[in-house]
Chain A
Amino acid sequence: MRNTSIFVAEPLTPGVTSFFAVERLLAVGDTANQSHQIVDLRGFGRALLLNGRVHRCQLDGATHHEILAHPALVTHPDPRRVLILGGGTGGVLREVLRHAGVERAVVVEPDPTLVHHARKYLPDWSAGAFEDPRTRLIHSEVRTWLQGPGEAPFDVVIADLPEPLDGGPAARFFTREGFTAVSALLAKDGVFACGAGPAAITRPDLLAACRHTLKTIFPIVRTATVLLTTTLEPRGVVVASKGPDPKALNEAAVTARLEARDLFPRRYTARMHPALFEEPAWLLDRPTRVLEDAAPFAP
């Protein structure tokens, strides 16, 4: 390693810690619930760190944004009203707004400085999405907003929040009560895409528990695995639905929907859709439990 003395230490498990070399530190922010940094990493380029961990990188962040947004939006036959929880970089918002039928996209991001820093240092992630007249940006703690007066209903809800590793207030989103609040905001055929942490055998517990907990609320629950390089582990996205089933869409059906919406994503494609929702054996077998406010996720 040359010319740097700043590293991000990513403790993946008690057995291994990986060190990313930081070339430049660009922005730092802290709120009561979350801290963030924007840095340039050697080899991986610009990156957003949340709570001290690599959340998303320039190099393959777009893959993650596409798979958080498109499978759920494609699964819904006519998504018009979309809610994004977290996602203050605008990366998911940008993908949502590419669906021509979307009339309104509400972003609830707890950290206003994150949005400010992302617009300055990660401008291609949102690429003008915050200026789109369909966008409404709200700064609020997510769970508090969900239980407030709100502006339901939504056709699709997407959660793009950091892993709740510290047992703090963020953990209260990933509970039966938190997911029930999401369900209450969804319209009849509503679809919920929940970013649910690592999809790897080394750290499968948040994903397994979210999947299991969502099954107590939604009739259809499917898990997509997002292969990534920069996070050192794939990421899981649980798609929970009140009606439409992502697994019912074959390649031809996905192609038809994408074409009807004049949408041609590069990383999420119709070819990939059927395989995306094949759940790995280690996830199916994993012993788990229902997450609750009284007993939220604890790593």
Chain B
Amino acid sequence: MVKKLGILFSGGKDSMYAAWLAKKEGYKISCLISIVSENEESYMFHTPSIRRVEEQAKSMGIPLIIVKTKGKKEKELIDLEKSIKLAIKDYDIEGVISGAVESVYQASRIEKICNKLKIACFNPLWQKNQLELLEDLIKNGFEVIVVGVFAYPFDEKWLGRKIDAKFINEIKKLQEKYGINVAGEGGEFESFVLNCSLFKKKLIIKDKKIKGSKNSWRMDIKLE
């Protein structure tokens, strides 16, 4: 069995839940790997705010590797490979975990890089029922908020909302009516984890700024 893993980490619910599962199954999380894309329409990555991810890493007590990319289609993959190589060199990781659920584009590119570098690749959320994923987050004590919405019928009122039973009910109704993906993996919304059992200290929002228009909004947060 491989032991030390690196998490491809965006700070959102999917990569955090994947990390949590790995820990639960007895793996050691040796480092977090965040790719920060300058292109908000990145093909591969959710584009986390560096400061936010740093706060999460600090609370988990896990080293963080940040690699910046311009977010151009194939260049992103070279930067991803670079970051994984760095994690192998600095933290002896034997495998990588991603929070990929449905995206074959994303999963197969990560698989190819890991295969080339001869390390393992795990996607423990692969094909997972989206509703089940949201319910698992609540059941296992994750505190997750919405920090971005990018599709009709979402608007700025959704920003900052906590993923709880009420959220799930409302989003279920939207799914029935508009066919949106309940867990947001299709890019409908972006989430941020404020607390879970991997954290030593819960993150608290000190300040927030909202920007956007129509059905595309982001919330920048400052943490205490």
Q: Do A and B originate from a single complex?
A: no
